[in-house]
Structure 1
Amino acid sequence: MSSREDETLARAAVTALTGQLALAPKPGLPDPRDLGARVTRRDHRMLRWSAKALAPGLAAMAAAARRTGEPTPALRTGEPTPALRTELGAIGRCTEHSVGLAGGGHRGALWALGLLVAAAALDPRADARDIAATAKRIAAHTDRRAPRRPSRGSSVSAKYGAAGARGEARTGFPHVRGALDALTTSRAAGATEEQTRLDALLTVISTLQDTELLYTAGPIGLRHVQAGARTVLEAGGTATEAGARALAALDADLHARAWSPRGSAGLLAGALFLDALPVTARARAA
């Protein structure tokens, strides 16, 4: 049974995901301009609704972490175990089914948010960097009950040598941490919150070996998208006139090509979750 703390973490994660969905313009990704999925083929209203279906599963993952994490003599907090990794995998597959019934989507976000929520539950006092490090230790274990059939993402990762979602987690979510740095930098420069979050998204897109893009566009297409994101950032980001023009051009280009950097969107949601944790912790303490 989940506690109030577990439900608070789950709500924070869902809020981060819906916050990512609300951003616009997101190049090649569903946003409020595309309510009927005319361009991205993913109905934005459906995605907002199905995001809420993640909450029970994420709360269950937090509860599993609190229950299964084993304290060590040197630490008063839980430590990731193989049993925890297996239980998180089982909860994740059930949650995918529930999300599918609600309209689908968010598979990549569920993977990232699930690990980060579990890591946050293991040590409620940890900061964002420590949570990412704990998520890395969880992901290092093998889910022994996972289906043996390869996913599309894992097949693309094997074909092109990309890290993929598993590699991202097993290296401590470097792109989530990079997005956190971008949030700090853009806020310090005076950007609005929406501009700040778009800059963080573009920071992820600029370097991530996105398996969705590799599948649809190949390595040349991936490099094209990465270069487009870097052009926006090198122009000063979305808060500048030049950066806004470059973003509009990239957005039009990706929509015309039907290329979507979906992996970057899920990692931005992870960054927004970690970014909100200090506020969440203060609210919990109050």
Structure 2
Amino acid sequence: MKYALRRTLDWYSDMSLWPQSNAWAIGSAFLTGALLEISTHPKPGLVTPRSNGSHRDMNLQTFMVSSAAIAPCLYQCAELGLGHSGPNWTVLASVREIGARYEARLLKATGGVNTQRGLLFSAGVLSAAAGLVMRHQPNCSEAALFDTAADMVRGICDRELRSLGNRTPQTAGEKLYKEYGVLGIRGEAEAGFPTVRSAGLPALRTARDSGAPLGAVLLDTLIAIMAEAEDTTLLWRGGPEALTFVQAEARRIRALGGALTEAGMAAIQTLDADCIARHLSPGGSADLLAVTVGVDALLGGILPPATPEPGASPAPAPNL
């Protein structure tokens, strides 16, 4: 009996033995990013395990149920890419169809609250792109992943934003383009996720290499993204002034050493209070943090283990 159980556990622990194991691995990487983003604290103006940030309609549990609702979408998009045989751009319509189904499930799970719709789009596109890359090779390189994602969505800004003309915009992305000319997450994806490539991943790797604990690595990566991202959530809530303010503060925090120094952490706490007072939330940057962690996990990156916070009481031993 023990031998049979051991063989069963070994089978489950070896993804190469699973049918469609690449799809599971891809989906799991991006779900990891979503969950680690949710669990990071403090995040200026954002929901964390200890704060609702600038939000009155959502908390940690809202994000947990929405993450559970969209998790299968990431696997299905990866599976779609793995099984696709045409040009890369021809898979997008099917990715959007899957995404629409899971957006509806997300909103049903949260009672209509928009928690992770931006992440659903980004992670869905990248999951499918990873599947496309891994159709003929066991691993996915950073360059191939982002180039394939850009090829998948090429022309999306022309089709969905620049072609608006005099038509009344319907979505938040369309309204922000009409008012400010910003391309939002569509532009980020069509450019091959430059904020993730140039800000998120380098910051994550540098913080990890410094030996910082997991929480500091994640928070430092978020600040690096906030300093560069054209965050449409900030634009929606406070206009260009809000975006300029948060970007400038994030750059100042980076100059202080970010989440890796006491001065940087003190400045992060101050920015959190300022964002809450102004009702600002860098939700677009939070989505890109999740994407960054997901891409790093997909590429084989290993984050430092989570450690108990100083002063935390150990859990009592279970009665067995």
Choose the corresponding residue for 1:40, options 39, 47, 55: 55
Q: Which runs of 5+ in 2 are unaligned?
A: 1-18, 303-320
Displacement after TM superposition at 1:159 (Å): 1.5
Displacement after TM superposition at 1:53 (Å): 1.2
Give the corresponding residue for 1:155.
175
Q: What letter matches 2:106 in structure 1? A: V
Cα separation, 2, equivalents of 1:231 and 1:274: 27
| In the alignment, structure 1 residue 222 sits paired with structure 2 residue 222 | no
Whether the aligned pair in 1 keeps the contact of 2:78 and 2:128 (CA below 8 Å) is yes
Give the corresponding residue for 2:258.
237
User: Structure 2 matches for 1:90-239, cutoff 5 A?
Assistant: 90-103=97-110, 104=113, 105-124=115-134, 125-140=139-154, 142=156, 150-177=170-197, 178-239=199-260
Q: What letter matches 1:13 in structure 2? A: F
Cα separation, 1, equivalents of 2:185 and 2:254: 24
Q: What letter matches 1:81 in structure 2? A: W
- 3-state secondary structure, aligned to 1:54: helix
- The alignment yields a C-alpha RMSD, in angstroms, of 2.2
- TM-score when normalising by structure 2: 0.78
Bigger Rg over Cα: 2
Whether the aligned pair in 2 keeps the contact of 1:115 and 1:135 (CA below 8 Å) is yes
| In the alignment, structure 1 residue 7 sits paired with structure 2 residue 15 | no
- 3-state secondary structure, aligned to 2:244: helix
Displacement after TM superposition at 1:269 (Å): 0.7
Q: What letter matches 2:35 in structure 1? A: T
Residues 219-275 of structure 1, C-alpha deviations (whole Å, 9 max, x = no match): 112101111111111001111111011111101100111100100111111110011
- Alpha carbons of structure 1 residues 280 and 230: separation in structure 2 relative to 1, 3 Å: closer
- 3-state secondary structure, aligned to 1:98: helix
Give the corresponding residue for 1:81.
89
- Higher mean displacement: 184-193 or 101-110: 184-193
| In the alignment, structure 1 residue 21 sits paired with structure 2 residue 38 | yes
Cα separation, 1, equivalents of 2:267 and 2:96: 40
- Higher mean displacement: 126-135 or 242-251: 126-135
Whether the aligned pair in 2 keeps the contact of 1:128 and 1:277 (CA below 8 Å) is no
Cα separation, 1, equivalents of 2:54 and 2:224: 23
Q: What letter matches 1:113 in structure 2? A: A
Displacement after TM superposition at 1:97 (Å): 0.7
How many pairs are equivalent? Answer: 267
- TM-score when normalising by structure 1: 0.87
Displacement after TM superposition at 1:110 (Å): 0.6
Cα separation, 2, equivalents of 1:39 and 1:162: 23
Q: What letter matches 1:40 in structure 2? A: H
Cα separation, 1, equivalents of 2:155 and 2:93: 8
Whether the aligned pair in 1 keeps the contact of 2:133 and 2:144 (CA below 8 Å) is no
Cα separation, 2, equivalents of 1:280 and 1:52: 23
Give the corresponding residue for 1:73.
none
Give % identity: 34
Residues 176-229 of structure 1, C-alpha deviations (whole Å, 9 max, x = no match): 112001111122233222111111111111121111111211111210111111
Q: What letter matches 1:263 in structure 2? A: G
Give the corresponding residue for 2:75.
59
Whether the aligned pair in 1 keeps the contact of 2:153 and 2:189 (CA below 8 Å) is yes
Cα separation, 2, equivalents of 1:129 and 1:175: 14
Give the corresponding residue for 1:247.
268
Displacement after TM superposition at 1:39 (Å): 4.5
Displacement after TM superposition at 1:135 (Å): 0.6
- 3-state secondary structure, aligned to 1:204: helix
Cα separation, 1, equivalents of 2:85 and 2:156: 16
